[in-house]
Chain A
């Protein structure tokens, strides 16, 4: 991942429309996150690390695929910071790289079962691939 990371910070902020410096470090996002235990970096860390420009660990972390986009953090943040949008912007930073799709077409079949709704498949593709 040879990318100008300073640029990545600006890019993530621009794309997400989130101003991480609005964060007052209360931790309510992480206190509310249903995917917390699955994540190496937690919502408040995403906000803080983007604010300080510490992007690389986030890009490499599986945490970006664990966010459920449930928007609970967005709704409950007392400062209107919208952490989920930051997570999504970081994920896009990764999957928009050439060949960096998180889901490979060949892996799809094994995940399917009889009842799985189409909604799950399209959403997963929208979230995990370019």
Chain B
């Protein structure tokens, strides 16, 4: 029989105003197993906790029920309190009489009655609680970073600098990500390449960092501290260890008309290519979709010109198995497709471009060597119209676009408008906006400078339609301040396309069993207090895969994720969650139902010997749960017909007792 202590918290007046705490503690004192019942103003305070500790000692308590706020708030606190007084932390149950009672009921009679039932239910459960001890598992002191953009780069550097090995898996032939494609960065206007490429070199040269470029994560098994990851290294048909990156092959390759993805298809590259001059690793890659040698065996020019003998047409995809203790997701973002927004005539005119395309046009290493010209005819544009919020802030019912604000567009549009006016004072630049959102250090000042010093026309209103007519783009829009509809004959229209998580994120989330929101952004463990961790232990989030972010925020989050990873890898052993499933081998039929519903692969089977009647020995197939892998969802407990599978901390009998207590 348990000796239970009940502690009713007033939570100041939060509880006490609508629940008669004295009546509750008196009523609960009569429940079976209860030997002590008290109430106090703030149970979670030091004094409150001392009260509990003293009662444990004085009444030799074996179980604790705290009637207070949600267990999501202070369950941990009270468990620690109990532990410090010498009883098992899992002998504590919380009756949530604040969120579920005092805060939602106005009438003290109702509140008190319900609080008693909730307390009784917790007591019924504690009566059946058993001490639980968390298992321990070792930590592999290495980290994997998925994605080699600025987020991944920063996270990897920070982890590696702390002395842990890091591998970066990047699906493209080079690291660098979106930032490598940018021209200048707001609000300081320093060149993106100038600040990014030194970091890329740091990564390449860091003795603790390995880069798996042109590679993907193929499978993930295991759990926090002990992940087994399969990395697929795609065949690039060039031996990375031999290629010097001289680039001769990329000049001699006869296949010239391959759309250059680095410049968003605005110019072409060869079938063998190095994405850009500062690529890391600076190694050529053959595009199998275009290479004549790989397609029909006729060519071989690159192999002939390569003095390092790095070309290998026979190369195959290879699978690499690695072990990690932590995984950081840094899969980044992409602009959304403009397909559904053809009121802006993106598919009808080359002179309607997205902001990222504009970024390449403005970039000295871009398709126009940084000269602002129209993609259609190479002429210098005089009138430019920027449209904000294309596909951002769209209601669900509008059936296209994203509901969220993409966050970065206001600032990069201000940057584009400012740079255009700065370099080409003969231009007229219009920015159509719904709101200009500039909550960042020096952001609003930057935007105001664009308007005030550079003469960018900011118009409050949206563009309704863009119609190519002759060599002009007729832009029809509203000016809400003037209450006018305005028509502009523009030379170029630049669309601030909403951003969305990279398409690879969904499958990676599935492999990692990390949760995502409806927009495919990774969900954080807590939106405020644990923003760089996934709810799945051992998975961390860095950069725009968690939500739209600009570069400073991304770098900050990347560092934060690294700090969390370092904190994990610094430990030698991890304490697990003791509320895991366990199988009663005497009752297990070995039917495999539980194994089939387990999302973590935590259940395996062994043939075990049992003593039969008359000294015989029977061998039976029985389930065994790996407590380090089990996350304690309980799916197996219901799949099990014999009831052999039960969940510690949420045992069938405990829940039944709770049901009975409520229905009493």
Instruction: Contact check, A26 vs B462: say whether CB atoms are below 8 A apart.
Output: yes
Tell me the complex Cα distance, A44–B462, Å. 11
Give the size of the chain B interface in residues (CB under 8 angstroms).
Answer: 25
Instruction: Contact check, A31 vs B389: say whether CB atoms are below 8 A apart.
Output: no
Smallest beta-carbon distance B455→chain A, Å: 23
Tell me the complex Cα distance, A37–B394, Å. 27
Instruction: Contact check, A32 vs B460: say whether CB atoms are below 8 A apart.
Output: no
Q: Are A32 and B465 also in contact (CB < 8 A) when A25-B480, A27-B460 are?
A: yes
A96 within 8 Å of B by Cβ?
A: no
Tell me the complex Cα distance, A24–B462, Å. 11
B398 within 8 Å of A by Cβ?
A: yes
B463 within 8 Å of A by Cβ?
A: yes
Q: Classify the secondary structure of A's interface with B.
A: helix
Tell me the complex Cα distance, A22–B479, Å. 20
Instruction: Contact check, B478 vs A31: say whether CB atoms are below 8 A apart.
Output: yes
Smallest beta-carbon distance A68→chain B, Å: 14
Select one of B396, B399, B434 contacting A26, CB under 8 A: B434
Select one of B343, B394, B396, B480 contacting A30, CB under 8 A: B480
Produce 1/0 per residue, A20-61, CB < 8 A to B: 001011111111110011000010110000000000000000
Smallest beta-carbon distance A70→chain B, Å: 12
Instruction: Contact check, B397 vs A27: say whether CB atoms are below 8 A apart.
Output: no
CB neighbours (8 Å) of A80 from chain B are 395-399
Tell me the complex Cα distance, A102–B556, Å. 63
| Stretch among A3-11, A71-79, A111-119, A120-128 lining the B interface | A71-79
Q: Are A31 and B462 also in contact (CB < 8 A) when A25-B434, A80-B395, A80-B398 are?
A: yes
Interface residues of B in 443-465 (CB under 8 A from A): 460-465
Instruction: Contact check, A31 vs B395: say whether CB atoms are below 8 A apart.
Output: no
Q: Are A44 and B480 also in contact (CB < 8 A) when A25-B434, A30-B485 are?
A: yes
Tell me the complex Cα distance, A24–B465, Å. 19
Tell me the complex Cα distance, A16–B358, Å. 41
Tell me the complex Cα distance, A16–B483, Å. 24
Instruction: Contact check, B464 vs A79: say whether CB atoms are below 8 A apart.
Output: no
Closest to B477 in A: A31
CB neighbours (8 Å) of B393 from chain A are 24, 26, 78-79
Tell me the complex Cα distance, A31–B479, Å. 8
Select one of B395, B432, B464, B479 contacting A32, CB under 8 A: B464
Smallest beta-carbon distance A77→chain B, Å: 6
Select one of B396, B432, B434 contacting A24, CB under 8 A: B434
Q: Are A31 and B398 also in contact (CB < 8 A) when A26-B389, A42-B483 are?
A: no
Q: Are A78 and B476 also in contact (CB < 8 A) when A25-B434, A26-B461 are?
A: no
Q: Are A32 and B343 also in contact (CB < 8 A) when A25-B434, A27-B462, A79-B394 are?
A: yes
Instruction: Contact check, A36 vs B485: say whether CB atoms are below 8 A apart.
Output: yes
B401 within 8 Å of A by Cβ?
A: yes
Instruction: Contact check, A37 vs B480: say whether CB atoms are below 8 A apart.
Output: no
CB neighbours (8 Å) of A33 from chain B are 464, 485
Instruction: Contact check, A22 vs B395: say whether CB atoms are below 8 A apart.
Output: yes
Interface residues of B in 345-403 (CB under 8 A from A): 389, 393-399, 401
Instruction: Contact check, A30 vs B478: say whether CB atoms are below 8 A apart.
Output: yes
CB neighbours (8 Å) of A42 from chain B are 478, 483, 485
CB neighbours (8 Å) of B389 from chain A are 26, 78
Interface residues of B in 419-461 (CB under 8 A from A): 432, 434, 460-461
Q: Are A31 and B434 also in contact (CB < 8 A) when A26-B389, A44-B478, A80-B395 are?
A: no
CB neighbours (8 Å) of B463 from chain A are 28, 31
Closest to A78 in B: B394
Closest to A81 in B: B395
Produce 1/0 per residue, B466-483, CB < 8 A to A: 000000000011111001
Smallest beta-carbon distance B386→chain A, Å: 14
Smallest beta-carbon distance A39→chain B, Å: 9
Smallest beta-carbon distance A91→chain B, Å: 21
Smallest beta-carbon distance A86→chain B, Å: 15
Instruction: Contact check, B464 vs A76: say whether CB atoms are below 8 A apart.
Output: yes
Smallest beta-carbon distance A107→chain B, Å: 30
CB neighbours (8 Å) of B465 from chain A are 31-32, 72, 76
Closest to A77 in B: B398
Interface residues of B in 504-549 (CB under 8 A from A): none
Tell me the complex Cα distance, A35–B609, Å. 86
Tell me the complex Cα distance, A44–B477, Å. 12
CB neighbours (8 Å) of A77 from chain B are 398
Some 19 contacts from A to B, beta carbons below 8 A apart, are A26-B389, A26-B462, A27-B462, A28-B463, A28-B464, A29-B464, A30-B485, A31-B432, A31-B461, A31-B462, A31-B464, A31-B478, A44-B478, A76-B464, A77-B398, A78-B394, A78-B398, A79-B393, A80-B396
For the complex with contacts A28-B461, A28-B464, A72-B464, 14 further pairs of A-B residues with Cβ separation under 8 Å are A26-B462, A27-B460, A27-B462, A31-B432, A31-B461, A31-B462, A32-B464, A33-B485, A36-B478, A72-B465, A76-B343, A78-B398, A78-B401, A79-B395
6 tightest CB-CB pairs across the interface, nearest first?
A: A32-B464, A31-B464, A80-B397, A28-B462, A31-B478, A30-B478
Give chain A's interface residues, CB within 8 Å of chain B.
22, 24-33, 36-37, 42, 44-45, 72, 76-80
